A and B are shown apart, each in its own frame.
Chain A
Amino acid sequence: MSKHLRKISAALMIAAMAMGAPAWAQSDTGAMVVGLSGDPTLINSGTTTEINSSVVGAQIYSTIIRLDPKGEPAPSLAKSWQVAPDGLTYTFKFFDGIKWHDGTPFTSKDVAWSLLNVNKLYNGPAGGLLEAVQAIETPDDQTAVFKLARPYPPLLRGLAYFNSSTILPKHIFDNGQDPRQNPANLKPIGTGPFMFKEMKKGSHILLERYPDYHQDGPNVERLIFQIIPNEAARALALEKAEIDFIPYHVMPLGEVERLQTNKAITVAFQKRVIAGQYQAFLNTREGPLANTAVRQALYFAMNRSELLAKAGFGHGKVSDGGPFSSELPVFYTADVKQYGYDPALANRMLDEAGFPRDASGKRFSLRISYSLSEGPMNDVSRLLRSQFAQVGVELVDKGMEASAWRDTSFVKWDYDITMGSFASGPDPAIGAEAFYTCKRIERLSGRNASGYCNAEVDRLFEAGGRELDEGKRTEAYRKAAAILAEDVPHWWLWDRYYPIAFQSKLEGITDDVTGYGTLDRVRWTQ
């Protein structure tokens, strides 16, 4: 249903665009317009992981630290920090004189309250990230001290992600109310470079420069998020300079090639340390896929270069590191079992596994589920149907609306194969671990829905998450990757590259490595 509504609103949107561009569209260097595919349901990443919310919220709110273009921690709210040698104490010193947009002074109590009372409780990734944090002490208004129960190296970088670690104002959210119901979710007050001005559903969100921002910038007076549901219309709007930037999560992949030929537009690849992979969870509890040999055989039957070229328009790399994307620094290794395209081998393995072809040439049939709003998945399903037919396996397409997909796959576990884009990073302890360890077999979105459980893999992930020495961590994770590539609880299709497109005169967009960072340093060049 919602897919249909989107189509209709897309049609209306095209009509609306044809009638006349918004007033701010005419290459006004005092403004910057970002294209989005739909309204964020709310602007508060403390309670949601929706990317639209993070992209908008990152301009209004702040995180404790940010990541520089190399992915190293850099000051944001905190001007300096120290990690104790035992890895159990993190001390952050904040800038003086930071004020919320309503004039209330920002203090370390905002940090402590927000992270422990909102983010940890209502935001999935933050729950994992802050699991080891026992307490956040605030000896004075400019200092916060994190006390950990056990060393947890991914914590520092994790605090730079708006998607999990947005700092919310205590004086607005600490009113006894459920933070998900707070009116400030649609009228946010932050410490970031832009102040919220107005939000018109289905049309735009208008932000204005915050003059008292404590860091440099921002360099534009107004920042506008323009809602354009139709993919082709979004690309067209960029070409007509009605919008200036299309972020990674709403980039129309089919338009990349055409936009690249336009000199006024730069197409770049967003470095994203969350290292997303298109991958398929396999239900290892029942049916033919409970058999490791079958999972391996069908992985051999898969022509992943064709999937990437035709469904992903070539924006990525066929996964060769098992559970870790090649975009994941340090931990990735290609020294794991490889699955090249080999239908003959697949046929042989299926015969040996005890699944002979019947009279019509068919061995068995599997259901393949995915969300219809997840870009290339419909095409992947069509291609796989064709590829698996060659080894006598029939696929039944179960594409469905996003929330129904999440429910049947991750809560009901009613699937054989379910596909989507999942993050292996920014650190395996945050990303990959959730999919493969026994304790994560939970009926929750983005958890171990395959039901795969291997004590050795659990031990390695456990060791990797605690270990402080990077060499030993790497070793543990690489061993785990090798075992997983052998057992194939998932089929890792391809490592995603994230194309983005923006007006060539904009500078500084590619400095952000999170994909939804603050745009305070972005400026127009002449």
Chain B
Amino acid sequence: MNASASSITPANRSWQRFKANRKALFGLGVLILFLLAAVGAAQLAPYDQLAMGASFNPPSATHLLGTDSLGEDIFTNILYGARTSLIVGFCAVITSTILGTLVGATAGYFGGIPDTLLMRVTEMFQILPQFFLAIVIVALFGSSIWNVILVIGVLTWPVTARLLRAEFLTLRNREFVDAARSLGMSDFDIITREILPNALPPIIVNCTLQISSAILLETSLSFLGLGDPNVMSWGTMLHNAQDFFSRAWWMAAFPGLALFLATLSLNLVGDGLNDALNPKNI
């Protein structure tokens, strides 16, 4: 084997395919910008998070995107809002993926009674109206950012669980799994070392898409005034803007634009990953 041959790993091939997709690359670029904004909010923001200037300043050189009704700089708030949105998005999806993987892998691998039981529970979660349940839970247990993350995570795991169960159902009877079994591997090892790595691609794609829906859910909650009042969020900004729509369009327009770009980029990346990781596309 020479060097060039060894460098064509599956991951590498996927990256080549991803790179060829211009929409996906655009999405990735925007996403990286948002990540930088979130990480470097404190350094990048032109004003302190708690600084208040004159109210209702239109966009100008001093206030790039204008100021809101209390005189907070919109650009600064959008940067800090990006941090909140991404924290919520990633943490909620990690929560839901862990839950979904546990349930989906168990149900798909063992089948039978565990499968029936777990899938009925999953269906129960699926028929609940997610958004209204989120509202009730946040209203009852408080709206700290960690509560919001937990709520979103707990409400969105069934999709992952079903997806993973389906993958497990098809993979568990493949020859390489039979081989592992006949070699005496334990169930745990077979699940984690044999099946799971092969079931990952759809999960990764699903994660990307779920991050954007988690961000949207958090924004909707904040828009209704149910967000964490101690952190800035795009939804809170939109909530504050609604009384002043005719007076200060920039209060609603820019957070809305940020939200639009963030969810769009995540969806483009998700689509790109889907194409790149799909073995049928080779």
Contacts and interface: CB of A to CB of B under 8 A. Distances in A.
B225 A306 contact: no
Given A254-B243, A310-B55, A382 B226 contact: no
B282 interface: no
Given A231-B243, A372-B225, A382 B135 contact: no
A258 B69 CA distance: 15
A386 B52 contact: yes
B134 to A, nearest CB: 11
Leading 3 A-B pairs by shortest Cβ distance = A397-B229, A1-B139, A386-B50
Contact of B224 (A7, A252, A378, A396): A7
B69 A1 contact: no
A310 B240 CA distance: 13
Contacts of B69: 310, 379
B70 interface: yes
A399 B136 CA distance: 16
Contacts of B229: 378, 381, 397, 399
A187 interface: no
Contacts of B225: 3-4, 7, 372
A4 B226 contact: yes
Contacts of B139: 1, 3-4, 401
Interface in A205-262: 231-232, 252, 254, 258
A385 interface: yes
Contact of A379 (B50, B70, B140): B70
Given A231-B243, A381-B229, A311 B70 contact: yes
B40 interface: no
Interface in B41-76: 50-52, 55, 69-72
B140 A382 contact: no
9 contacts: A1-B135, A252-B243, A254-B243, A310-B55, A310-B69, A386-B50, A396-B230, A397-B229, A401-B139
Interface of B: 50-52, 55, 69-72, 135-136, 139-140, 224-226, 229-230, 243-244, 246
Given A1-B140, A383-B70, A254 B52 contact: no
Nearest to B70: A310
Contacts of B72: 382
Contact of B136 (A1, A3, A306, A401): A1
Nearest to A231: B243
Given A379-B69, A386-B51, A4 B243 contact: no
A389 interface: yes
Contact of A254 (B135, B230, B244): B244
Interface residues of A, number: 26
Contacts of A306: 52
Contacts of B50: 385-386, 389
Nearest to A401: B139
Interface string A399-443: 101000000000000000000000000000000000000000000
A311 B230 CA distance: 18
Nearest to B55: A310
A401 B50 CA distance: 25
Given A3-B225, A396-B230, A382 B70 contact: yes
B224 A383 contact: no
A11 to B, nearest CB: 10
Interface string A74-113: 0000000000000000000000000000000000000000
A257 to B, nearest CB: 9
Interface of B is mostly: loop
A304 to B, nearest CB: 14
Contacts of A383: 52, 70
Given A1-B136, A7-B225, A309-B55, 17 more contacts: A1-B135, A1-B139, A3-B225, A4-B135, A4-B225, A252-B243, A310-B52, A310-B69, A372-B225, A378-B229, A379-B70, A382-B70, A383-B52, A383-B70, A385-B50, A386-B51, A396-B230
Contacts of A389: 50
B224 A4 contact: yes
Contacts of B230: 396-397
Contacts of A311: 70
Interface string A379-399: 101110110010000001101
Nearest to B139: A1
Contacts of A386: 50-52
Contacts of A397: 229-230
A397 B143 CA distance: 11
Contacts of A382: 70, 72
Contacts of A232: 243
Contacts of B226: 3-4
Contacts of B52: 306, 310, 383, 386
B255 to A, nearest CB: 16
A254 B68 CA distance: 13
Nearest to B71: A310
A397 B135 CA distance: 19
Contacts of A3: 139, 224-226
A447 to B, nearest CB: 26
B128 to A, nearest CB: 16
A232 B245 CA distance: 10
Contacts of B140: 1
Nearest to A397: B229
B125 to A, nearest CB: 21
Contacts of A7: 224-225
Contacts of A379: 69-70
Contacts of A309: 55
Nearest to A399: B229
A212 to B, nearest CB: 45
A26 B61 CA distance: 48
A448 B136 CA distance: 32
Q: In the complex, which of the residues A3, A385, A386 has the most CB atoms of chain B within 10 Å of its own CB atom? A: A386
Contacts of B243: 231-232, 252, 254
A203 B70 CA distance: 34
Nearest to B51: A386
Contacts of B55: 309-310
Contacts of B135: 1, 4
Contacts of A252: 243
A231 B242 CA distance: 11
A361 to B, nearest CB: 12
Contacts of B246: 258
B42 to A, nearest CB: 13
Nearest to A232: B243
A170 B226 CA distance: 46
Contacts of A399: 229
A6 to B, nearest CB: 10
A270 B139 CA distance: 35
A379 B225 CA distance: 13
A376 B161 CA distance: 45
Nearest to B231: A397
